[in-house]
Structure 1
Amino acid sequence: MEQLLVGVLTDNEDIVELLNITRRKRARKVFRLRENHFTKWNDKEFIKRFRLSKNGVRFVLDRISEEIAHPTQSGTYVVTLRFYATGSFLQVVANFSGIGHRVSWAIARLETIFIKLPNTNQEMQCNSKEFYNTARFPKCIGALDCTHIKIMSPGGDQAEIFRNRKGFFSMNVQAICDTHAKIQDIVCRWPGSAHDSTIFNNSSIRQKFENRDFENYVLVGDSGYAVRPFLITPLGATATRAENLFNECQIRTRNPIERCFGIWKRRFPALAFGIRLQRHKVEAIVVATAVLHNMACLLNEELPPINPEEEAAVQFVNDVGNEIVRENNIGGVNNSVRHQLIHDYFNRLL
């Protein structure tokens, strides 16, 4: 048949060429071997690229291998870490697809193991002692604050509620940390316009403190929160030496949460540069990086070298600010708790 067609249509060069193409052998497929990042990079370069050591990555991978499609997907796992570490959507967009999202959720689900407040009397005493050794502040088991995670506009009718006081779109994330800057509780579901105090007032952690799940231990927070029997904030103005000492100790005791946010975002700059993904994926990434941050603290992982561009991005998103809760809006009963603490404890330190 082929010869007949050629004989009949020899003057038709297009058909002759078509028949010649069919005779050609198909090119053999070449399959590229997946890169082994553990052998490709030395230890220093590996930490620079993925923000965890090789042992740290293996530590996490051992705990999520059953969650992702197949244990050999470690290549995709480190690509996901690369996304957290660069904040560059374009660099890894081809790889950060379904499996990347599954990796984030697999890590985030470890929250119940690696992110938790002390829940026994012994653990609470230990936390309290460490905070006391920091600045002699009594009965404190955690430092509370919120931080903004930059995102793209979520679109739709509700997009503007994600625009914060500084003008960019963000999620306002609440966290509590210990003296080692390890995250003990995290809430990631509020838009950037939400006030810190609103997030706390609607959180389960507030309900637990009101139910005395943490006995008579307290948190410390900044002036963006109203003072409560279990949440001690600084005085707006001081008049005595004891009040000055109280404010100084309260601020030093609260410092770990600010340090925590800085370390967390420097380790995973995607939180500062911005995450250009859907909101539910952003929530998974935020919690996943919080889990990884805590793992890094537990393993004494070294911090990556300071990068000026990353540092500027971290400072920009951290400097959103918050409206101060005025003293005249605070109930007399709650305010008396703070003054009683100053009278009974800080006066004796002088």
Structure 2
Amino acid sequence: MAGRQRVLALREQERERDRVREREAERPRRPRSRLVAINARIRDNFDPLEVYNDSAVIQRYRLPRELIRQLLGTISEDLRRATRRNFALTPQVPLLAALRFYDTGSFLQVVGDGQGLSKASVCRSVQAVTYSLLRLVPQHVHFPTRDEMRATQEDFFRSFRIPQVAGAVDGTLVPILTPHVDAHVFICRKGYAAVNCQVVCDHQGIILDVVARWPGSTHDSFVFRESSIGRLPTASRGEWRLLGDSGYPLRPHLFTPVNNPGDVHDEAYNEAHRLARCIVERTIGRWKLRFRCLHQSSGGLQFSPAKSCAVICVTAMLHNIAAKAGVALLEPEENEDDDDEEDRCEDGLPLNYAAGFHARRRVIETFF
């Protein structure tokens, strides 16, 4: 009896499977979009690096074709598809799509229209290229060696008469998509969601250090104090210092302007300090002008905070590559003045402040 029931149950399951197959066969299937084949034809017959001249390549991708091909050779294995099925993308296509997005910061659909890609493909390409390039950032964004630092210190002293300066530090706000979790923390003083980035650069406008991890409401002094440079012990800093605005704490290794100048020495020092610190403001301006995805005029980065921070670090690396190669900006340069509000730093470390005050005082006395 049990065996007969088992046979009947198996037959009923078989009839149910047959009914499911019949319904699937009768269901109208959506035809494959012709746009897939059209985009594949565009990609197969249009190579921007071969069609555009040198100026057009730099204008669209911010790097000359030689440097683009070098980056392609470095990350091609990360971007290569296992097969060529379903019109798989070659490694060059996502790299150019990501560079184009970094350049314009436009909508993903608009970027894809010029590359023969769909919106989803551009999104995946930007993510894949960003995280592939992220592992190369330490090679191009790092603090200089002792010899390189000596050249920077000599240039700062020759130009501004402030000794032992290895670079200038400043913070900038990069707009991002308002996150769903802890959104209020990311709202900056300008009223939009942003990431507060700390940038250190040398006399040539090369970014030596970038910290992109803190929400827009975080104060510049806190970002510096929690950064790798700010947490270095005094003995390991050596004979170098940075220049920052009054939003940073005064330290022997971080000089800020005199808030209430009392004599001509203080005024001369403040003027030299202002001119020297303009280097980091111009560097941030060039960085955001070269990669408009970071600028508020493009709407900012419509990504999550983690992905936005990755894009910020990658564009800083690409800026250094372009600057070292002497790639000129085709647009007029501008200073990054929209974030230049020097909030006063509330310093709770009087001993460090006193040491910084005396060190700065000895330098000020050399001005006349």
User: In the TM superposition, what is the alpha-carbon distance from 1:293 to its structure 2 partner?
Assistant: 0.1
1:133–1:67 CA distance, 2 compared to 1 (3 A): farther
Matched, 1:187 2:207: no
In structure 1, what is the equivalent of residue 251 of structure 2? 228
Provide the C-alpha distance between the structure 1 equivalents of 2:154 and 2:306, rounded to a whole number of angstroms. Answer: 38
The yes-or-no answer on 1:334 pairing with 2:334 is: no
Question: What is the aligned partner in structure 2 of residue 217 from structure 1?
Answer: 240
RMSD: 2.7
**Cα 1:245–1:332 shift into 2, 3 Å:** farther
The change in CA–CA distance for 1:170 and 1:127 in structure 2 (over 3 A counts) is same
What SS does structure 2 have at the residue aligned with 1:235? coil
**Secondary structure class of the residue paired with 1:152:** coil
- 2:110 is the counterpart of 1:91: yes
272-281 or 219-228, which deviates more: 272-281
Give the structure 2 partner of residue 151 of structure 1: 176
Partners of 2:175 and 2:313 lie apart in 1 by 14
Alpha-carbon distance in structure 1 between the residues aligned to 2:132 and 2:280: 26
User: Which one of 31, 40, 65 corresponds to residue 51 of structure 2?
Assistant: 40
SS of corresponding position for 1:166: coil
Displacement after TM superposition at 1:269 (Å): 0.4
Counterpart position of 1:133:
158
Residue in 1 that maps onto 2:62: 51
Residue in structure 2 matched with residue 254 of structure 1 by the alignment: 277
**TM-superposition CA deviations, 1:49-90 (whole Å, max 9, x none):** 112222232232233223322694112101101101111123
- 1:282 counterpart (295, 304, 308): 308
How far is the alpha carbon of 1:349 from its aligned partner? 4.0
- Rounded Cα–Cα distance in structure 2 between residues aligned with 1:87 and 1:60: 20
The gaps in structure 2 that reach 5 residues or longer are 1-33, 82-88, 112-118
1:138-185 deviations in whole A, cap 9, x for unaligned? 0110111110111111123x0011110010111101111101111101
Residue matched to 1:61: 72
Q: Secondary structure at the match of 1:144?
A: strand
User: What is the CA–CA distance in structure 2 between the aligned matches of 1:306 and 1:66, rounded to whole Å?
Assistant: 37
Task: Tell me: CA distance 1:69–1:278, structure 2 relative to 1, closer, same or farther (3 Å).
Answer: farther
Larger RCO, structure (CA 8 Å, separation 6 or more):
1
Query: Number of residue pairs matched?
Result: 315
Q: Decide whether the 8 Å contact of 2:160 with 2:272 is kept in 1.
A: yes
Contact 2:106 2:293 in 1 (8 A): yes
CA contact (8 A) 1:134 1:252 kept: no
Q: Give the match's secondary structure for 2:199.
A: strand
Contact 1:104 1:285 in 2 (8 A): yes
What SS does the aligned partner of 2:122 have? coil
Q: Deviations over 1:123-144 (max 9, x none)?
A: 3212211222331210110111
The alignment status of 1:239 with 2:262, answered yes or no, reads: yes
Tell me the CA shift for residue 246 of structure 1.
1.4
The whole-number CA distance in structure 1 between the counterparts of 2:351 and 2:236 is 24
Are residues 134 and 69 of structure 1, via their aligned partners in 2, closer, same or farther at CA, if it must alter by over 3 Å? farther
AA matched with 1:138: P
Residue type of the partner of 1:68? L
Q: Equivalent pairs: percent with the same residue?
A: 32
TM-score (normalizing by structure 2):
0.78
Q: Which residue number corresponds to residue 127 of structure 2?
A: 101
Q: Report if the CA contact (8 A) 2:176-2:302 is conserved.
A: yes
What's the TM-score, normalizing by structure 1?
A: 0.82
